[in-house]
């Protein structure tokens, strides 16, 4: 996950659900529902320590 978070073409959306996927191969429209969170995304490094607590 760390390598993919460094790619400028990839946006990681944690604590989210896919609502709907429309389109065809190579041309998708995806509706995503983001849930409320208590982790500061700017400070998050993806270590998973908060998940253990």
- Which residues have a Cβ under 8 Å from the Cβ of 19 and sit 6 or more positions away? 31, 32, 33
H-state helical runs in the chain? 2-6, 49-52
Please count the helices (runs of H) and the strands (runs of E) in the chain.
Answer: 2, 2
For 6-48, what is each residue's pLDDT tens digit? 888 888 887 899 999 999 998 999 999 998 877 777 888 878 7
For the entire predicted model, the pTM comes to 0.52
pLDDT of residue 6: 82
């Amino acid at each position: 996950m760390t390598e993919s978070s460094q790619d400028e073409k990839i946006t990681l959306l944690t604590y989210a659900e896919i609502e709907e996927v429309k389109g065809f191969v190579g041309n998708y429209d995806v509706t995503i529902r983001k849930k409320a969170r208590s982790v500061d995304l700017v400070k998050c490094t993806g270590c998973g320590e908060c998940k253990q607590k």
